[in-house]
Structure 1
Amino acid sequence: MAWRIGLFYCAAPLSGAFGGLLASGLARISVDGYNKWPWIFFIEGAVTVIYGIICLFFMPHNPGHAKFLSDEEKKITMAHLKRDFHGATAEEDVDRETFDWHWVRMAFASPNLWMTSLVWFFVLIPLYSFSLFLPTIISALGYTTLHTQLLTVPPNFCSFVCVLLTTWYSDKLKVRGPVILAGSLVAIVGYIMLLASHAPGVRYGGTFFVAVGVFICSPAVMAWLSNNTSPHYVRATAAGFQVAFANCAAFVATFSYLKKDAPDYVLGHSINIGALVLAIVTTSLGIMYNTWENRKRDRGDRDHRLNENQSRLGHRHPHYRYTI
């Protein structure tokens, strides 16, 4: 799960890397009164819209509808989806699963939804502020605009590689919370370097720690909730709410780096350290809750739920084990 989400999510740091290169070139265009930076929005925005329209027609509803898979491959992928229910509803046909408000209520009753949503909210404060203000932070070190855009590439590319490595390793170890803890600590080290030193080289090195730390947290927290909610409509509801709630962090991130705080940006760096500390606390609570709940199920303390309709238990099924 983390590897698949990582493959999707690593587009974020990769786009940051290419964004710096593109911006350095597009900002040189001057046509019909539109000079430099507007062309970044025109061209990158147009590419995004066109590709979005293409995806609308070509992305399948589920693997069973994928035209690029053979009949045998469709059968295998749909069987994987059934197994993903951890045996709780394996006899049901995933392709015919219908919406029921019962699944929505189950999603919002899950402690994992609220804990991971808070964790991701706290992680996205530094991630968004980093993505938005990395050029500002680097330019404050004394570099020219063009040089600044080019220097945004290495930290983003480094985080792209680390996202792939950590998501693969997260699946290998079958853990999510410890990855988030490690990423948050690494990012805190980066912000301390930005705060404590006035040497441009040390501060620039700190941006690598921040980039790696915050970017590896996001796919881990997305996978954590996906692993701990089931079946499909519960997971879809939970994931949708998690994304909507966590993205509200942009309201904080947008105003964390103010022009009057240049060049040290003590307030912005401090806000991000505080957010990461809260992410560590919330992640630790999530690890403790899931460990406690798994032990309850191991002891048979949740077996009374077997008297209910087992096809509607989802992640509440006594045989379901939460990922730590």
Structure 2
Amino acid sequence: MSASSAQFSNSEEDKMAPEEKYIETADAPSDDSNVSLTLAEKKALTRRILLKLDIKIIPIMALLFLCSFLDRTNVGNAKIYHMEKDINITDHQYDTGLVIYYAFYIASELPSNLVLKRVSPKIWLPMLTAAWGITAMCLGFVRNYAGLMIVRAFLGATEGGLLPGIVLYLSGMYTRGEMALRIGLFYTSASLSGAFGGLLARGINEIGTAGGLEGWRWIFIIEGLFTVVVAVFAYLILPNSVDEALDEEESAFARQRLYDDKPKMRLENGELSTESEKFAWSEVRRGLLSPQLWFSATAYLAILAALYSFGLFLPTIIVGLGYSANDAQLWSVIPYAVAAVITVGVAILSDHLRLRGVIMLVSLPLAIIGYSVIANVTSNKVKYGMTFLMATGLYATVPCILGWISNNSAGHYMRATTTGTQLAIANCGGFIAAFIYPKKQGPQYFTGHSVVLGLLCFAWVMIFFNVLYCAKINRDKASGKYDEFIGSGDDRDPEFKMVL
């Protein structure tokens, strides 16, 4: 879309497919009507736009992600209520049930992101949510190992597209400098899911054998039903684009902000165009070969291995500290709640400073310290105290690493590839998480904590390398080494600076 033909005529807009309107209206510059606005008026309009977008988008994203985490980790809550015994599976078979989820979750992430534009976020994200909600309910009716494996596989396949889809969707609604806070706000629901999950599990389990079903089965059924309700709610409310979320004046200004935030491509006739939205395998290949992808994805893999194992096994760890199953659910709430508050604060700081990797180099050591101590002490009080550092260091790091690769990728399919692949690689951490806390290690879990400690140290090094790599690209662009890409319309353009 060229700058000289920014506004669609009504007839042209009416002819567009819904998915085309979603992408194109977000990329189109506005007319010149806001040029006359003063700086104070532009700031006030920006605040009003962001408030409206935040109100209409972030709560829905948070609810979807809350449901995602509840439905993937509630198996950990069900475990301490004797799920393994009731369906006659071993500890190893339970771990295998966790692993098959991640296998299908990973396989669905990149394809889902490539489909998102064609179907549109308003349809695709709620559809995925409803599908996994129904699947999660089915977990309440499994009777054996085979049933567990089949349902967990379907759960992974339906949940896999949500997080990369949300990141891709938000990148079309907010500028690069606003992403970390928004990711932090909805990702906070993941830590809250740990808190609410424990409380819900305890309350739901009190249902007992209602309907001839054990209490742990009702955990899956009720939480899955809640997810389906949220999916319907999301479909009714979620806007596809800034045009659907804002009034005419606001949407024009919002489009201009997004347009100004993207690299431009100079056409043969001399006009400027934003990033091309036509699918090209060369963009997929460029994304897959990006060093930033592999630095950030391997770091995120290590972080997620820690995060997933923390969520799946925290109740078991607390039981190992001497608490009953019901008390363990309650005591698991507090570390998550503290982490939620700090995660939002770190995300605000990240956006304010326009830094991602540098922030993580400071926040991740909190988790490293926590795992270092908990693996080598015997005091239950000290161990429980370390779970606060572990939760805070892990959750506070995620918004930055999720937004980083999206910030530094330009071109829809380049960004779709890097965000989808990053998460596909990172979620391989689930395979590690499933096996590093077997019961026989309890209550000390020295080996499990030591493995996670090593992974987090590796993540810190990869983040450091990526900061150095991004800084080098910026220096090379400043020195003219990327001048051949002037007007390329993607992240290689010298005017497109990498976020450190």
1:50 corresponds to which of 229, 234, 237 = 229
Number of the residue aligned with 2:303? 123
Number of the residue aligned with 2:418? 238
Deviation at 1:49, TM superposition (A): 2.5
**How far apart in 1 are the matches of 2:462 and 2:428?**
17
Number of the residue aligned with 1:137? 317
1:82 corresponds to which of 249, 259, 273 = 259
Number of the residue aligned with 1:262? 442
Deviation at 1:78, TM superposition (A): 1.7
1:16 corresponds to 2:194: yes
1:317 corresponds to 2:493: yes
**How far apart in 2 are the matches of 1:180 and 1:48?**
32
**How far apart in 2 are the matches of 1:103 and 1:85?**
16
Change (3 A) 1:278 1:203: same
Give ranges in structure 2 of 5+ residues lacking alignment: 1-178
Preserved CA contact (<8 Å) 2:274 2:489: no
1:29 corresponds to 2:237: no
- Deviations along 1:64-120, one digit per CA (max 9) or x if unpaired, are 3x2x421222222222221221445794367x9433333323322322112111111
**How far apart in 1 are the matches of 2:326 and 2:205?**
9
- Deviations along 1:45-70, one digit per CA (max 9) or x if unpaired, are 11113322442454333223x2x421
Change (3 A) 1:233 1:74: farther
2:398 corresponds to which of 200, 203, 218 = 218
1:69 corresponds to 2:249: no
- Deviations along 1:200-249, one digit per CA (max 9) or x if unpaired, are 11100000000000111111101111111112332122111112221121
Aligned pairs, number: 317
Matches within 5 A, 1:57-206: 57-64=236-243, 66=244, 68-87=245-264, 91-92=272-273, 97-206=277-386
Change (3 A) 1:78 1:98: farther
Preserved CA contact (<8 Å) 2:263 2:489: no
Q: Whose Rg is larger? A: 2
Change (3 A) 1:74 1:168: same
The alignment's TM-score, normalised by the length of structure 1, stands at 0.92
- Deviations along 1:4-47, one digit per CA (max 9) or x if unpaired, are 11112111001111111111111111202212111111111111
Q: Return the letter of the residue paired with 2:286.
A: M
Preserved CA contact (<8 Å) 1:182 1:213: no
**How far apart in 2 are the matches of 1:99 and 1:305?**
20
Find runs of 4+ consecutive structure 1 residues off by over 6 angstroms. none
**How far apart in 1 are the matches of 2:310 and 2:413?**
33
Preserved CA contact (<8 Å) 2:262 2:410: yes
Q: SS of 1:197's equivalent? A: coil
Q: Return the letter of the residue paired with 1:41.
A: F
Q: SS of 1:319's equivalent? A: coil
Preserved CA contact (<8 Å) 1:29 1:36: yes
Bigger relative contact order, structure 1 or 2, given CA contacts below 8 A and separation 6+? 1
Deviation at 1:149, TM superposition (A): 0.4
Deviation at 1:171, TM superposition (A): 1.1
Q: Return the letter of the residue paired with 2:494.
A: P
**How far apart in 1 are the matches of 2:291 and 2:231?**
34
Deviation at 1:261, TM superposition (A): 0.6
Report % sequence identity.
38
Q: Return the letter of the residue paired with 1:32.
A: G
Change (3 A) 1:174 1:184: same
The alignment's TM-score, normalised by the length of structure 2, stands at 0.61
- Report the aligned-residue RMSD: 1.8
- Deviations along 1:229-283, one digit per CA (max 9) or x if unpaired, are 1123321221111122211211110111001111101111011001101101111
**How far apart in 1 are the matches of 2:233 and 2:437?**
36
Q: Return the letter of the residue paired with 2:220.
A: F
**How far apart in 2 are the matches of 1:226 and 1:180?**
16
Preserved CA contact (<8 Å) 2:376 2:446: no
Q: Return the letter of the residue paired with 1:253.
A: A
**How far apart in 2 are the matches of 1:232 and 1:91?**
17
Between 50-59 and 187-196, the greater mean CA deviation after superposition: 50-59
